[in-house]
Structure 1
Amino acid sequence: MHTWRFDQGRLQYFQFDEIKKIALALNELDGSKKPASDEKDVVREVLSKYSTLPFLPNDYTVWRNYGRVFEIMLLATSTNDHIFATNLCKSIAADPDDLDSDDYLAYFSQNFYYSSPIFADYESAAARVYPCLAIIKFLITEFVVKGKDYVTIDEICIFLVPNNLTGHEDLQFFTNLKLGNYTGDPRQLRELVRFISQFSFLKWENPKLFIEARDKAELLAIEKLMSPRISQIYADRTAAILDMGAGVGATTKTFGSITLTAHDHDDVEFTEGAKIRVTHVRAERSNKLRNFYFKKIPYAHVCRMCELDTAHKYPWANHVIELHHLLPLSSPIRVEQNITSLKDLVGLCPSCHRATHKFYSKWFAETKLKDFSSYEQAMDVYNSAKAQVKS
């Protein structure tokens, strides 16, 4: 039985918007000599051009402390004292806006396996286990068969790991899992689950991973896409890691064929021809995020655009306010226990929300852009719409 592990305590580095920045830096460093402790840390220097995250401690080289993090991201590895970027890293760096978080996480899920060359216990001849695929299939089965929209960390520990799930199994297999014993560290497994909760159809609320898609046909379509990429076996760990990040191509955009079921004409108008905004709508409708927003945000019942007090105007109705997503969808919402995780959401009354989507559709058509390129650009367009609201 393989140990299911991940990097612990560094989840902020595994947010997809940060992964893209790190990919830009590692691509620039491709082929560079890995700095020794007494040399100028060129890795830190290049990373600081793209990311504001602290790569601590400062008295150690970045690669010494974060090399495994970069390998887990499937972005880069090192051999013979040199750094080498994977094809995945190069692909992201070539066009950071071309791959969204769903497609990156789908690629990761199809290529990240145990026994992993990233960790010291690598056994190249061992049968490969694809943990993310097993978790997602388990969750889909629980919802489709039992109507249960979540799995807990404990359930993953006692049902998936002891039963030697590989990720190749179909949904029927998951209906007959036997209870087992888990002797590993659930904290590392929890970090892996929190990482993949950046999928637009998943949400994390400790200790549960929720599935937010409710259309069974869509879920079954997702399950069909969740297949491991079968690749060559390498005894050399560096070659194996580079191979994990080598399968980039037209098929990398796994989720391009899956669309969110539209609820009304405005949804169709806003999402047509732009999957990234389909994910946007999906995020806005997240029940978990709505509950989190109303729990954490002061005066959550007030529209941030027209300032309508919905609690006063509609005293018989709770939570009339809808969530509007500001950031590009390459920056998934982080559902953690602090209010700053909600900076990319604004609460709008239904009328303002629909009007804002129409404003965005007009702006995208005029600029011929697929999505916003930065948080600042998103805020500028939102504030432009807000400034034109008549009192």
Structure 2
Amino acid sequence: METIPLVHASLGEQELAAVAEVFSSGWPAGQGPSGKALEAELAERYGVGDALALSNCGAALHLSLLALGVAPGDEVIVADYTFPAPAHAVRYVGAEPVFADVRADTGTVDPRAVADLIGPRTVGVIAVDTVGLPADYAELQSLADRHGLFLVEDAACAVGATYRGREAGTLAPVACLSFHGRKGATSGEGGALLAADPALGAGARLRSSFGIGSIFEQSQEVGLPIPVFEEIGYNYKLSDIAAAILRVQLGRIGELLDRRSAVAARYGELLADEELLTVPTVPQDRTHAWQSYMVTLDPGVDRAAVAADLRSQGIGCGHGTWACHLQPVYAKEGSCPVSADLFRRNLAIPMHAELDTQQVERVAEVLRDAVRTHARPHGGRRAG
């Protein structure tokens, strides 16, 4: 029986050749020639004042909040239906995450929910491009401007997606990217901070390297420069090995996204008329990066039993993402009912650029059989 994994990184000979060059260079650590070249390419691609190559997107979120001056006692509104990295970053700086509910159709943060949560301690908003779909940035930026708040785009899942013709990563003054193994461009682990303001980027860069800047650059100076530690920093550097891989992957974003989009389109055709699930919604003013493909099951379908059926036949699947306010580390008063409902009913099925047509058709066929087998009698109400 063929195994069809939930995720699979598209890495090959080009990436191996790039790694070999780094080995030959003698500088595999962070902030070396490959890292600096990657940062220049990111800044050019996204048209930003500065771009930092970092160890992961969580590091980018943390550095963003430090650079924006978030302090203990502040509140930051964060999208609830997502991996909890944005809320974690808020806690890292001693502030309080306030969870905003999401749209039922897209799973992205609902601007109306954000507006209702703005209070005297609110200093900013972190919007999330949920599993690859950009949020409603026109409304969110308008809210932020009206109330004097910062807006950060968590574009971890959305490399290659667009909103009103603009690429994800450029939709707020500060944006954070992920290059984790399941993303559209990957180095296994990795991230980036994109800043419209070069001064913000410069401060974040210093903090990303223990507070002393690039050891590689200092090693090129004549004499014996001795770094001075003027503030506490972190070890958030991206290795030059990973940076070299990413330089190749950035050039392949269009190709890999086209393949993911073809998979998504075929799933949509095969599952569109299935009454026991709903396929993803993509508004006309944006495009999806398809980090994940999540279907929403009818309330009468036993999701755990469906997942067991898929896995027993070698097909990877997952719950999707999290309703953060329900996690024990954040559990408190207040609710996000739409997010909680999606958390209970969404199911992620295989999505990556290496899927072929036969595999997609097999996934859809097994999924159809499973949801019909595990639906309560007379359930039949369409999800949505």
The TM-score normalised by the length of structure 1 is 0.28
**Structure showing the higher strand proportion among its residues:** 2
The TM-score normalised by the length of structure 2 is 0.28
**Structure showing the higher helix proportion among its residues:** 1
